[in-house]
């Protein structure tokens, strides 16, 4: 199993999660109750699963596609290390990955 850590926006709470190789970070986070909306169900048509990857872990990820970068342009609070969690597929190389949830997000479902 591959371990990942989700940090709340204020950094006060860390939630540990595990997923198998090939799992998407979006579903791993949702299974642990993280508020990763994923309105488009991972089709890269929204930015509601935006996470901020820890700077020390960012280089371990494959480069974002142009389409993902375009969607990140719409994400509230995007940073240099922002990614869409639906585009992060867990691999053994990502064991120990830490991501933060942005302090605000755009709720595409109107809840």
pTM of this prediction? 0.89
Distance from first CA to last CA of the chain, Å, rounded?
33
Going by C-alpha positions, the residue among 96, 94, 83, 81 that lies closest to residue 22 is 94
The model's pLDDT over 50-77, given as tens digits with 9 standing for 90+, comes to 999 999 999 999 999 999 999 999 998 9
Q: How confident is the model at residue 109 (pLDDT cuts 50, 70, 90)?
A: very low
To 5 degrees, how large is the angle CA 97–CA 37–CA 77? 70
């Amino acid at each position: 199993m591959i371990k990942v850590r989700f940090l709340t926006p204020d950094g006060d709470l860390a939630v540990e999660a595990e997923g198998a190789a090939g799992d998407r970070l979006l579903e791993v986070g949702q299974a642990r109750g993280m508020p990763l909306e994923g309105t488009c169900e991972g089709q890269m048509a929204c930015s509601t699963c935006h996470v901020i990857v820890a700077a020390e872990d960012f280089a371990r990820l494959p480069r974002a596609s142009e389409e993902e970068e375009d969607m990140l342009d719409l994400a509230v609070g995007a940073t240099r290390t922002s990614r869409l969690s639906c585009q992060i597929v867990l691999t053994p190389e990502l064991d120990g990955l830490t991501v933060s949830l942005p302090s605000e997000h755009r709720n595409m479902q109107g809840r």
